[in-house]
Amino acid sequence: MSRPPRKIVVTGPFGAGKTTFAATVTAGLAGGTLVTTETGVSDATAALKGSTTVAMDHTTVTVPAAPGAAWTEARVNLFGTPGQQRFAFVWELLAQNMDGYLVLVDASRPAGVTEAAGIVATFQRIAPTAPRLVAVSRWADPAGTRGRLAQLLGTSPSALVPCDPRDLAQCTAVLRVLLDGVHVLEDRRAGTTTTDGVPA
Ligand SMILES: Nc1nc2c(ncn2[C@@H]2O[C@H](COP(=O)(O)OP(=O)(O)OP(=O)(O)O)[C@@H](O)[C@H]2O)c(=O)[nH]1
Ligand SMILES: [Mg+2]
């Protein structure tokens, strides 16, 4: 029996690359049509980026599994959140009934890392058992700074994966790891496995 589409939420601070991630997988994977809600930035953040998501990004794509995975392909309903704090109420709406989520973080911007820590804590409260990965862009030294970055974000070091959201292979790899976690959790809930492989 084929499984229903998975609802995956992509969140993170302003400018982390959420819309870019959704655009990259839409362009590169089968089955997607991207809907965005971009509008011009009117406040001080305009220096960083000219437009911002004010409601959500949405796309539906098919993610092929990696060789040897316990699943073959997964239909994904992907929702990107707005990043600006003033739209934070939207996060809670988009998180309803999600199967897992990504937090995108730009490691080169300390203010973004601080904001991301707040988003990690918020989503941890909203969905304490949902599989989660933290996709880190512009990460100059993953080996040297993994522990420190995880500490700043309030996650385990193993939850951090490098990801340039402009790169299809990296976006697909991140989605595969997250979907592995979703499948493990579903199987565990169904009582068919006891494997401990859910990202946290
Ligand atoms: N050089 C480089 N650019 C990146 C990387 N990750 C993201 N970007 C760029 O950073 C920008 C991110 O913009 P968006 O995708 O609109 O970010 P967003 O998270 O959707 O932003 P909001 O919706 O405003 O919160 C894009 O111009 C990307 O091309 C990276 O790893 N390297
Ligand atoms: Mg956006």
% of the chain surpassing 70 pLDDT: 92
pLDDT at 41 over 50: yes
Q: How far is CA 92 from CA 35, 123, 147, 148, in A?
A: 19, 8, 28, 28
Mean of per-residue pLDDT scores for the chain: 91
Distance CA 71, CA 149 (A): 31
Distance CA 78, CA 72 (A): 18
CA 101-105-106 angle, 5° bins = 155
139-166 pLDDT, tens digit each: 999 999 999 999 999 999 999 999 999 9
Test site for ligand 1: of 14, 18, 20, 84, most ligand atoms within 8 A of the Cβ: 20
105-127 pLDDT, tens digit each: 999 999 999 999 999 999 999 99
46-94 pLDDT, tens digit each: 767 789 898 899 999 999 999 888 889 999 999 999 998 888 899 999 9
The reply to whether ligand 1 has any atom less than 6 angstroms from the CB of 165 is yes
- What mean pLDDT do residues 25-33 have? 93
- Gyration radius of the chain over CA positions: 16
Ligand 1 atom nearest to 138, measured from its CA: 31
- 47 phi, psi to nearest 5 deg: -65, -25
Distance CA 10, CA 197 (A): 20
pLDDT attached to residue 196:
38
3-state DSSP assignment of residue 116: helix
Confidence of residue 176 (pLDDT cuts 50, 70, 90): very high
Test site for ligand 1: of 49, 57, 106, 161, most ligand atoms within 8 A of the Cβ: 49
What the chain holds in terms of domains, given with CATH numbers, is 6-190 (3.40.50.300)
> Which of 48-57, 100-109, 175-184 has the least mean pLDDT?
48-57
Among the bound ligands, the one closest to the CA of 20:
1
Ligand 2 centroid to Cα of residue 143, in Å, is: 28
Backbone region of residue 97 per phi and psi (left: phi > 0; alpha: psi in -120 to 50; beta: other values): left
Nearest alpha carbon, ligand 1 atom 21: 15
Q: Are 146 and 118 in contact (CB under 8 A)?
A: no
Distance CA 104, CA 159 (A): 12
